[in-house]
Structure formats: C-alpha cells, structure tokens
C-alpha cells in the first residue's frame, strides 16, 4: 500500500474525526454538567444541516452566503435548544435516567418528522464554499481543501472549549457543577440558569457541526441516528465526559471509518462496530473513563 494513498486516507480520517469531535464535544459538555445524555443531540445536528441549506438557498450570496448560513443556523439551533431546555428538559432533571432517555428519544421522533415535513425525504446538498472549493495536492492525491476548514474549526473548538472550561470563571463553575452540583448551588450560583446556558451552548455546537458537515456529505434524514451512534462509539472508546477522551475517540472512529471505506464501503460502519465491541470487552469504561463504581 503506497504511502501517499495511506496518507490521503489518514487526512480524510482527520477531517471526519474533526466533525465527530465537533458533535461529540457538545454532547460531552451537556452530559458533564447536566448529567443528561441528550439522545436528541444528533437530531439537532441534522436540523442544523437542513437549516443551513435553506438559509443558504434563501440568501443566495455567493461564497459569503454559506458562512452567514452557518452562523445563523447555529444561532437558531441555540434558540431551539433554549426552547427544548425550557419546555421539556428542566422538568425532568430530577427524574430517573429512563424518563430522561425517553424524553430525549421523543424529541428525536419529533424532529425527524419535523424535518420530513419541512424538507421532504430528498437528499440535499450544498457545494463547498469559497475559498475551499478546490483540492490541495497532497502527495499527488487531491485532498479537498474544505477538509482543512473542518479541521481548523475542530481545532478552534478544542481551544475554545479548553479555554472556556479551564480558563474562565464559567469554566470553574462548570467543572465544579460537574463534580458537586449541590455545593455549587449552595454557593449561590443559580443552577437552572447554568444548565440552560450549557444546554444552549451544546445545541449551538450541534447546529454548527451540522452546518459544517453539510457541504461535506449529503444532507438527509437518518443523519440524526447515524451521528448519534458514531458519537456513542466515540464516547465508548474515549470515556464519557472527558475532553481528551472525546478527542481520542473521534480520532479513532474517524480513521477507522476512513480506512474502512477504502477497504469496503458498505462495511465501514461494521468496522466501527468491531472496534466498539473490542473496547467494550476489554475496557468498557473507555480509555479515559473510570470503571462504573
């Protein structure tokens, strides 16, 4: 196997990992603080992609249009996140995980039909925006320059989240709330307010990931379940709630998918499963996670 082919696939894997990281980090963030695994996170991602398409189509501004659509879609998803948190989520924080899971599952059902109603069952696509329309030659292979955009954005998010969690006062609160919610509340910090904004941030990130992913592949129904399963694989491998774990997991799944496609396209998903299965047998709590008790 020629080095250049391998390198090309490797870089594709990085791009895919970047998208995964974008999505999974939002999920990890909400789980870390709210202790609720937002099953509907993938639906927010999908809705973000569809919204981006519609806004882009409506704006019809060449090159800048996409970026505007990305920003707008992300903000709209943040607002939808606010709606979801305010209407539904905050009433079930005190309930057991089955009800929380069922509630977020219900949201998946709602959003999936919402998308079907709004956009039909068609596959939609957006062309890659300027200046990332072309390809960069890497070792003689064309590598879509848009992938660099994705990778840059992924890195940007890593730094943003790192800065937010470890360098700001909000981050201190986040980390404290993740370990001891009651203590934080006792210190006078309004937990409900914190939860709302963390969830909104998570939804915003999900929407943004969907927007970013839109030119990367087809925008279609089923994106929601696909991505949530891949996020789950990321989290199984990396360990829940851990930023370095999410990075590692994203990287592994991204590469497995990329090389899997090269080998046999239909089986790419199966390869992810095999990796997940192995991790589940050897180390069910992931590389950076801790055993259940």
Partner 1 sequence: MKSNPKKNKTSLKKYWWVALLLAAAVAAPFFISEFYLTIFGEALIMSLLALSFNLLFGYMGQLSFGQAAFYGISGYTVAMLITKAHFNFWLSLGAGVVVAAALGLIIGFFCVRLRGIYFSILTLAFAQLIYFVIYKWHDFTGGDDGIQGVYPPDFLNSSIHYYFFILIVFILATFILWRIVNSPFGYTLKSMRENSERTEFLGISIAKYQLTAFVIAAAYAGLAGALWAPFYRSMAPSALFWLKSAEPVNAAILGGPSLFFGPIFGMFIMTFFHAWVLAYTVFWAFIMGILILIVIFLLPGGMLGFVQEKIKERRENRNPTTGIN
Binding site for partner 1 (CB under 8 A): 37, 39, 88, 91-92, 97-99, 101-103, 105-110, 112-114, 116-117, 225-226, 228-229, 232-233, 236, 266, 269-270, 273, 276-277, 280-281, 284, 292
Q: Is 257 in a helix, a strand, or coil?
A: helix
* In the complex, least distance from residue 155 CB atom to partner 1, rounded to whole angstroms: 27
Q: Which is nearer to partner 1, 42 or 129 (CB)?
A: 42
3-class DSSP state of 144: strand
Which is nearer to partner 1, 11 or 40 (by Cβ)?
A: 40
Q: At its nearest, how many Å lie between partner 1 and the CB of residue 192? A: 18
- Shortest approach of partner 1 to residue 281 CB, angstroms? 7
Q: Where are the beta strands (DSSP E) in 37-196?
A: 135-138, 141-144
Q: What are the DSSP calls for 35-75, one per residue?
A: ----TTHHHHHHHHHHHHHHHHHHH--TTHHHHHHHHHHHH
Nearest CB to partner 1, comparing residues 44 and 150: 44
Query: For residue 95, what is the DSSP state?
Result: S
Q: How far is the CB of 266 from partner 1 (least distance, A)?
A: 5
CB of 247 to partner 1, least distance (A): 20
Closest distance of CB 110 from partner 1, Å: 4
Return the number of other C-beta atoms located less than 10 Å from residue 209's C-beta: 32
Please choose, from the candidates 287, 275, 270, the residue with its C-alpha nearest in 3D space to the C-alpha of residue 233.
Answer: 275
The SS3 assignment for 138 reads: strand
CB 235 within 8 A of CB 26: no
Distance (Å, whole) CA 61 – CA 201: 27
Residue 165 near residue 38 (C-beta atoms within 8 A):
no
28 vs 147 by CB, closer to partner 1: 28
Distance between CA atoms of residues 164 and 185, nearest Å: 20
Quote the least distance from Cβ 81 to partner 1, whole Å. Answer: 17
């Amino acid at each position: 196997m020629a080095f250049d082919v391998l390198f090309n696939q490797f870089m594709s894997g990085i791009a895919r990992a970047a998208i995964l990281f974008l999505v999974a980090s939002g999920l990890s963030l909400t789980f870390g603080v709210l202790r609720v695994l937002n099953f509907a996170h993938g639906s927010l991602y999908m809705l973000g992609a569809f919204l981006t398409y519609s806004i882009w189509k409506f704006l019809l501004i060449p090159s800048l249009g996409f970026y505007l659509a990305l920003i707008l879609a992300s903000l709209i998803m943040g607002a939808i996140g606010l709606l979801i948190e305010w209407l539904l989520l905050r009433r079930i924080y005190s309930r057991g995980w089955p009800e929380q899971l069922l509630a977020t599952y219900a949201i998946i059902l709602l959003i999936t039909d919402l998308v079907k109603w709004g956009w039909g069952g068609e596959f939609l696509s957006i062309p890659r925006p300027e200046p990332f329309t072309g390809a960069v030659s890497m070792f003689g292979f064309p590598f879509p320059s848009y992938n660099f955009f994705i990778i840059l954005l992924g890195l940007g998010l890593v730094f943003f989240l790192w800065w937010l969690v470890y360098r700001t006062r909000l981050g201190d609160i986040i980390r404290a709330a993740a370990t001891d919610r009651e203590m934080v509340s006792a210190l006078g910090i309004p937990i409900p307010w914190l939860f709302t904004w963390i969830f909104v941030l998570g939804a915003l990130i999900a929407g943004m990931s969907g927007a970013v992913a839109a030119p990367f592949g087809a925008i279609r129904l089923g994106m929601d379940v696909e991505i949530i399963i891949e996020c789950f694989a990321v989290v199984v491998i990396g360990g829940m709630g851990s930023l370095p774990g999410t990075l590692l997991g994203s990287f592994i799944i991204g590469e497995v998918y990329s090389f899997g496609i090269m080998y046999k396209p239909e089986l790419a998903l199966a390869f992810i499963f095999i990796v997940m299965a192995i991790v589940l047998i050897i180390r069910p709590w992931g590389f950076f996670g801790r055993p259940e008790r």
